[in-house]
Amino acid sequence: MRLLSPDCLADRLAAVTSGGRLDRLAAALLLALASACGAGPTIPGPGGPIGPDPDVVPPIVREFRGLWTATVANIDWPSRAGLTAGEQRAELQSIMDRAKSAGMNAIVLHVRPAGDALYRSPHEPWGRMLTGTQGVDPGYDPLEFAVAEAHQRGLELHAWVNPFRAGNTADSSSLAPLHLFHTRRDLVRVYGSQLWMDPGESEVHDHSMRVIRDIVARYDVDAVHLDDYFYPYPQSAPGGGTLAFPDAAAYARDGGSASLGDWRRANVDRFLERLYGEVHAEKPWVRVGISPFGIWRPGNPAGIAGLDAYSAIYADARKWIVNGWLDYLAPQLYWAIDPPAQSYTALLGWWQQQNPMARFVWPGIATYKLYEGTPRYTTGEVVNQVKAARDRRTGGVLFYNTTTTITRNGGEVASALKFEVFGQPALSPATTWLDATVPPAPTITGVSTTAGWRATLASSGEPVRFYHVRYRAGTTWTTQVISGSTTTLTLPSVAGSAIDWVVVNAIDRVGNASPDATWRN
């Protein structure tokens, strides 16, 4: 998924072509040519000024706006290995501040890229992207820090994990003693340039599940997020053809009468069904999100061509959403709106139709394509993809990656999003199938209107993730999403006008909003 390393990027680019066997330069060019920029409709939505009637409280805007923050190979954060703990913290705070300013409401942070950890794990070694050496303590807990900083800003924090990736073959000599490559070498396969925990081994499932449950148990994350890596994308064999994944012994032992493809898909299915149950057994409010390759099978819908994820990487993502083994699906629709062979809008519509359990379908948008390939995306293409998702009432979008969305070229993408589609803060849609109970309204006491507006804010017992605040000064309404730990609410006057109307809602951990708590002068 998403620029994870030079080798992985080449695999993904090649995968979009029919055979996945072209050399890397040709693959990149063909993928870019299949992604010509297009323009979508102009659609009204939760952007721009609140209005039009200042005497009516504006509604709560609901839209997931996620930002993938990749850590492997220091793609997004930290900017380089070996920064001090203070420098790393400052960089992450800057990312979150920029994300918040752009209208985002969730950080999807890569915390377990390849059998390593961006947190203090009893099971796996510290990631090398922190200090430059795998297994070396960076002097703080990045995930603990990230969760606290995100929630303080009114942002969700989704823990992005890869269940089966184990690293690159070239790095095997530098893997820490705690890495599974050393502790259980019998469970790790060498596949071309990559190391892979064999999804066909039940002990691998147990290990990855133990890692994920540990994250959920010890950290106050809002979701567990998986991408498209379960079995590896095909690599070319030295003598031609496709390199075989070395799981023949496990298949002979456990495959029974199933074909190799059916057995591999069943291994992934079994893991994901178990994951969904175990995450919710640990903490019922923590969501599970999966971001598969954007094409399930060529011809679905009619006219779509490209990699067959079902048969090439053994990912039956349609089955996962049909069975409800996830709370949100974020298909990687990394193509422009116009091309018929890989149309963003055609694929989005198809995925939405495969959803009898009414889970969320939030498309992944490739902001990195503004800077890679020819022809390239424009900011208009990105904005139009958000509008197209909004027109189809998806309730959310995600962007890959952080650097190209909020930093590169002066943050041009973030500026376009903020001013064209994300003008007002939004809350994620409530995951009501996990919990539909509306929390009690908070209380507002001790109001002072001297030098702005200040009051004491208190919940009514149930855990509060965020407070949603709307307030009026003169004829202008302003919205804020703030930490659920806030006890003193301070609001500035607007353009010299005093605040005369405040509405606060408590938001619980699955997104349910309380009744209004209202103060009027």
> Can you say whether residue 280 is alpha, beta or left, with left for phi > 0 and alpha for psi between -120 and 50 degrees?
alpha
Q: What is the pLDDT of residue 47?
A: 53
| Separation CA 118–CA 384 (nearest Å) | 35
| Separation CA 118–CA 162 (nearest Å) | 12
Burial class of 257 by CB neighbour count within 10 A (0 to 12, 13 to 18, 19+): exposed
For residues 332, 333, 334 and 338, what is the CA-based torsion angle, rounded to 10 degrees? 180
DSSP lists the bridge partners of residue 221 as none
Q: Phi and psi (nearest 5°) for 399?
A: -125, 130
What pLDDT digit, counting tens, does each position of 436-484 carry?
A: 999 999 999 999 998 889 999 999 888 999 999 999 999 999 999 999 9
The amino acid that residue 169 corresponds to is T
Q: In the chain, which stretches have pLDDT less than 50? A: 1-45
Query: CB-hemisphere CA count at 13 Å for 172?
Result: 15
Q: 66, 104 in Cβ contact below 8 A?
A: yes
Q: 383, 336 in Cβ contact below 8 A?
A: no
**Domains defined along the chain, listed by start:** 6-420 (3.20.20.80), 443-520 (2.60.40.10)
pTM for this prediction: 0.92
Q: Phi and psi (nearest 5°) for 448?
A: -125, 130
Q: 369, 376 in Cβ contact below 8 A?
A: yes
Q: Phi and psi (nearest 5°) for 140?
A: -165, 175
Q: What is the pLDDT of residue 51?
A: 61
Element spanning 469, H or E:
strand 466-473
Q: 334, 364 in Cβ contact below 8 A?
A: yes
State both tokens at 142. 């990045």
DSSP lists the bridge partners of residue 62 as 427
Task: Please enumerate in sequence order all residues whose Cβ is within 8 A of that of 446, keeping only pairs 6 or more positions apart, or say none.
Answer: 454, 455, 456
Q: 172, 123 in Cβ contact below 8 A?
A: no
Q: What is the pLDDT of residue 374?
A: 72
DSSP labels, 306-365:
S--HHHHS---HHHHHHTT--SEE--B--S-SS-STT-HHHHHHHHHHS-TT--EE--EE
DSSP state at residue 497: B
Residues 205-240 as b or e (16 or more Cβ within 10 Å = b): bebbbebbbbbbeebbbbbbbbbbbbbbbbbbeeee
Q: What is the pLDDT of residue 408?
A: 97
- Nearest residue to 324 (alpha-carbon basis) of 266, 277, 267: 277
Count of beta carbons in the 10 Å neighbourhood of residue 23:
10
Q: What is the pLDDT of residue 28?
A: 33
